[in-house]
Structure 1
């Protein structure tokens, strides 16, 4: 009974375990399914990568199979090469001996490899001789090593590169201020460089004379080009010596700028003179002296002539530009003297350009004179315009006019010319015309400082065709304007003054200005002719009186007798009158003092001549 109970209990426990295991299995399957569902993307990616890996492995296998044949052939070739090498003891001993021999020449090889850097150091230290020696040694190395060793060829190429640097450095030295010995040393070094190049070409070319002549010509061209750069360099004094006056004061900026431009031009002329003469002298001393017996002498002469002609042309262009800023003939004369001296200095080298200077200075001199004249005419036009617009005659006339006596026509004290006639004082009645005459005389005064014969016809034509014609047209236009009906203000006086100004201009101003111009140009006869005509206009001679008759002679005799008796009586009264007046204690009356009437009509000697 007990056994049956045990059996039943054990069977029930087995059933429970199976049920639990089955439940656990189902739970595990459910968990596995959930995991698979959650990691489905991972499974897909693994599958894809597996497929890609299979394909890659297949391709690799195909390539390995394709290369197997090549590997076999390469292996056979390598085996044959190993069989051909001489790896015997004698071969290894020979290689060791060569390496030991190379090691013993280590210092010499280092010196050979240091040649380019050594030449570079010599060039930087201005050791021309040592650098040229290294360049010549490069040619020696090239001749010795005909088998074209790579190391030696590289060293030679680097040395020749430094040789080009040496040539550029020497030519750059000629662009600075160098003395004659220094210049000769530099040119000698350049010629040695040419000889080194010529030595290198000796085995390659047969026409060495032509090559040498071409090298010499190229050297001359390089010399002149380098010295050109030095010629164009401004001097130190022009850059530092005249900069301070320009900004010294605000009121004198204009005058300081003019002074600076004048001094700058003079410095430029002096710089061109000294440097061009020095360059030409150096060229003749270095090249022509050594080619005196050579057939290339005429080539150097023509080269120097072309260079001087080109530099003189550039100087004249600079001079024409700088002359435009000058505004007075004194500075123009200084520039002319400096340029003439420069031309004379170049004349010693056969390059005198004096004949090219007058056109430049004549044009500027005429422009300076015309500048003063145009200023006078513009001032006249402005004055007439203002008087018409305002309708006032006061700016056109003056009450300070003074009659000029015939005895004063020859000039006051200190007159430098007996032909010169002072400006007529009748012009003081018309101040605008007096200012025009002043402007003309100021322009003619510029001719005193720098008078050039070539300007004579130009000045005469300018006076007639520009200045006098402009004055005439201006006065005609003014007269037509004041004659227009409806003019306001002092119309009658303006018309009278306009007519008076035309008459004075025609009869007095034009002859006087023509005479002043001829006197300024040194034509005393022509000036005297114009001044004599003006004197005849100002002070015409008195008409001749008719011969006296018999009755007139008797009347004259009686009148003279009567005047003598009355004069005797007046003298007695004049002697007695002061005594009577003094005894009465009285003073002289105004009527007695101004008996002749000259006090009211006195001649004012303190007249401002600048108004005329």
Structure 2
């Protein structure tokens, strides 16, 4: 505080010993008045109280006059002041509330500022998105474009598009939209895989197969062994579909079509497989060979299953087929054609055909024997006259059926039926069944021999001289004509020289072992005592060689059918 101000404060204390308001210390009017008092003289100071009283009285009068004159104004002012006071009180209370709410307001303002900043950021992003909307739309439409490529069969474009999408995702794995696009593309990827596998189940050319497998390789869904297996599985579906489409009404037609369809389609599949999956040492799969992966196991295991299925179908259908030689030709051609791919399976079909041929012949002979048994029961020698033809007639043709059989229709019909079976056998006569053929004929002839003995035992009491002579001719015709004639027929179909050449033995060895030879002694043994005594000629080696040579002149065999027709007329 300055000395002047200190002097003024002391002066105020002297003038107002009882105290004064503290704001006078800073009131400018008070300070000016005190300064002015300091300039008065003593006389002026003495007059100053009276002057002040007069001035105060004048001021009061003026105030009163002013109040009287402007009392309305004062009243209004008082009302206004009172209203202002109330309003100020209200304002003060609201200010108190405002002060309390200011921290909350500050917090809300901060929140708003934060939200507005994020909104501003989103707005900037939205603006940027709007400017890049064309490029973004192209990216978002990638799954739809992928589906369009697949539906239109543009698999090459679909593969390139899928690679591009995965490349984008690898560059930006943190962007969710790319992850969503990759998921949608993967779903379309599976759809394309399903369509490609479905196409492999249809009739396809080699270029189309190469194209489809190329797409599957690029998809990298299967390993190389899995791809091979999947290719064979899908092509097998096509093969099975073709086989199921063959009608089963006619067994012969079904078997013929099965052979043709299996041969054509299976060969196409093998050709496609060999062309697509190259196993050369310098091929694309050389790395698999270095890893000791035998890819051929897959192929040959599959082809083995297909051949096994075909053989099972052949064995089932051939039971009801009459023309076996036609089926045999087709099957042998089928097996021979597969020798080009190292799958010659003709030897696997041989047991099926030999068993079928042998069974057919056995059934035919059994039927002939059954007819003979029926005929011999009705046949009688009582009062049977000697025929006008001799009981044994020599013929220039060695394959001419004996005329003596015309006298005895049970033997003639039996020979007719056996010749029919032999003619069918001649069309397809595997050497492997020669023993079974000979044994079948041997057993049937032995049965006839025993039947003749039974006939003799039943009717000998009623035999007249003519009947006994007729029975003797019957037994001689059986032993001297029927049995040797059937032996000739067997040797025409199975020449001993040919069998001996196959076995690497002599014809005499065949005769000793009974291969292709009927045991006439065993056949005739039941009725030997009923035959007239005679010296049995031995079959010379010259006859055996001539029997083998007769096979070269097959026209003689064709005459069997003509001769059996004559025998049947009786």
Band the TM-score falls in, shorter-chain normalisation: 0.5 to 0.7
Cα separation, partners in 2 of 1:495 and 1:140, compared to 1, 3 Å:
farther
Secondary structure at the aligned position of 1:369 is classed as: helix
Given the alignment, which residue of 300, 304, 313 partners 2:299? 304
Structure 1 counterpart of 2:181: 155
Given the alignment, which residue of 358, 366, 370 partners 2:362? 370
**Structure 2 CA distance, aligned partners of 1:148 and 1:495?**
115
Structure 1 counterpart of 2:125: 98
Structure 1 counterpart of 2:556: none
Structure 2 counterpart of 1:446: 424
Which sections of structure 1, spanning at least 5 residues, go unmatched? Answer: 1-77, 198-213, 244-256, 412-419, 542-606
Structure 1 counterpart of 2:205: 179
* CA deviation vs aligned residue, 1:258-291 (integer Å, no higher than 9, x gap): xx43343233222222222222222222212576
Given the alignment, which residue of 302, 315, 324 partners 1:320? 315
Contact 2:375 2:410 in 1 (8 A): yes
Q: What is the CA-CA distance between 1:312 and the residue it aligns to?
A: 1.7
Q: How does 1:124-523 map to 2 (within 5 A)?
A: 124-147=151-174, 149=176, 151-194=177-220, 215-234=223-242, 238=246, 260-288=250-278, 292-293=282-283, 294-297=286-289, 299-327=294-322, 331-385=323-377, 387=378, 393=380, 402-403=389-390, 406=393, 408-411=394-397, 420-465=398-443, 467-476=444-453, 501=474, 504-523=477-496
Secondary structure at the aligned position of 1:409 is classed as: coil
Cα separation, partners in 2 of 1:301 and 1:373, compared to 1, 3 Å:
same
Given the alignment, which residue of 134, 143, 147 partners 1:116? 143
Structure 2 counterpart of 1:74: none
Secondary structure at the aligned position of 1:296 is classed as: helix
**Structure 1 CA distance, aligned partners of 2:371 and 2:383?**
12
Contact 1:383 1:432 in 2 (8 A): yes
* CA deviation vs aligned residue, 1:403-426 (integer Å, no higher than 9, x gap): 2665x4222xxxxxxxx3422222
* CA deviation vs aligned residue, 1:139-190 (integer Å, no higher than 9, x gap): 12321222151x3323211211111121121122122221121111111111
Contact 2:487 2:518 in 1 (8 A): no
Which sections of structure 2, spanning at least 5 residues, go unmatched? Answer: 1-103, 498-506, 525-530, 536-564
Secondary structure at the aligned position of 1:299 is classed as: coil
Give 1 or 2 for the bigger CA radius of gyration: 2
Q: What is the CA-CA distance between 1:472 and the residue it aligns to?
A: 3.5
Q: What is the CA-CA distance between 1:430 and the residue it aligns to?
A: 1.4
**Structure 2 CA distance, aligned partners of 1:283 and 1:220?**
8
**Structure 2 CA distance, aligned partners of 1:507 and 1:404?**
11
Q: How does 1:67-78 map to 2 (within 5 A)?
A: none
> Greater RCO between the two (CA within 8 Å, min separation 6)?
2
**Structure 2 CA distance, aligned partners of 1:529 and 1:454?**
16
Secondary structure at the aligned position of 2:306 is classed as: helix
**Structure 2 CA distance, aligned partners of 1:399 and 1:238?**
60
* CA deviation vs aligned residue, 1:561-606 (integer Å, no higher than 9, x gap): xxxxxxxxxxxxxxxxxxxxxxxxxxxxxxxxxxxxxxxxxxxxxx
Q: What is the CA-CA distance between 1:192 and the residue it aligns to?
A: 1.0
Cα separation, partners in 2 of 1:477 and 1:130, compared to 1, 3 Å:
farther
Secondary structure at the aligned position of 1:234 is classed as: helix
**Structure 2 CA distance, aligned partners of 1:494 and 1:164?**
95
Contact 1:396 1:430 in 2 (8 A): no
Secondary structure at the aligned position of 2:145 is classed as: helix
**Structure 1 CA distance, aligned partners of 2:107 and 2:384?**
126
> TM-score of the superposition, structure 2-length normalised?
0.62
Q: How many residues align?
A: 407
Q: Say what the alpha-carbon RMSD is for the aligned residues.
A: 4.0
Contact 1:174 1:223 in 2 (8 A): yes
> TM-score of the superposition, structure 1-length normalised?
0.58
Secondary structure at the aligned position of 1:147 is classed as: coil
Structure 2 counterpart of 1:553: none
Contact 1:515 1:529 in 2 (8 A): no
**Structure 2 CA distance, aligned partners of 1:229 and 1:323?**
25
**Structure 1 CA distance, aligned partners of 2:229 and 2:251?**
34
Structure 2 counterpart of 1:85: 111
Contact 1:346 1:352 in 2 (8 A): yes
**Structure 1 CA distance, aligned partners of 2:204 and 2:519?**
62
Cα separation, partners in 2 of 1:79 and 1:217, compared to 1, 3 Å:
farther
**Structure 2 CA distance, aligned partners of 1:472 and 1:310?**
50
Contact 1:401 1:426 in 2 (8 A): no
